Amino acid sequence: MGKKRIIQKTEEELLKEREKIEVATKKEIIMEASKKIKEAKVYISSSYNNTIITLTDLEGNVLTWASAGSIGFKGTKKATPFAASKVAEVLFLAAKKLGIEKVQVLVKGIGSGRDSAIRSLAVRGLDITSIKDITPIPHNGCRPPKVRRV
């Protein structure tokens, strides 16, 4: 085995790469500034173990999210209505920074944090245009197993 040779780029190539990166970041900053979002969707997923709230734009692209576990609640305390209201409070602060005023709320799951999360969002000052329940409901269930032959 011989010596390993590392290919080094010239200064001109490095400058060209830097310019490309700077142009790309400037474009992203301009796009973010021009995209002042006024309306968004809030997805509340409430299970027996946790409450997760996601803030998306109207197309469904995630802007930010928060959960009871990410805030610092552990164990059975994550599933409480108090934890859900704290999660909603954190999400409201993020929505305020983004400039969001109106939200559509979509609730999924059967946990105890559903109602308290919606109430907390409304009390904080977000204008809720609609509340929709998107909990999946089984209809006729899955196919039963074949009859056992002995």
Structure confidence by residue, pLDDT tens digits, 18-50: 777 777 776 666 555 546 788 999 999 999 999
> Strand 127-133's sheet: what is its strand order?
62-67, 51-56, 39-46, 102-109, 127-133
Q: How confident is the model at residue 1 (pLDDT cuts 50, 70, 90)?
A: low
pLDDT at 18: 78
117 domain-assigned: yes
CB 119 within 8 A of CB 145: no
82 domain-assigned: yes
pLDDT at 74: 94
Residue 120, domain extent? 39-133
Burial class (CB in 10 A: 0-12, 13-18, 19+), 29: exposed
139 domain-assigned: no
**109-127 pLDDT tens trace:** 999 999 999 999 999 999 9
d(CA 63, CA 71): 17
Higher pLDDT, 86 or 9: 86
CATH number, domain with residue 80: 3.30.420.80
The fraction of the chain above a pLDDT of 70, given in percent, is: 90
64 domain-assigned: yes
111 domain-assigned: yes
**Three-state DSSP string of 72-107:** CCCHHHHHCHHHHHHHHHHHHHHHHHHCCCEEEEEE
Overall number of domains in the chain: 1
Question: Which candidate, 47, 42, 38, places its Cα nearest to that of 60?
Answer: 42
26 domain-assigned: no
pLDDT at 19: 79
Q: What is the mean pLDDT of residues 54-72?
A: 93
Q: Is the pLDDT of residue 8 over 70?
A: yes
Q: Which residues are CB-neighbours of 100 under 8 A, at least 6 positions away?
A: 37, 38, 39, 40, 55, 126
105 domain-assigned: yes
pTM over 0.85: no
66 domain-assigned: yes
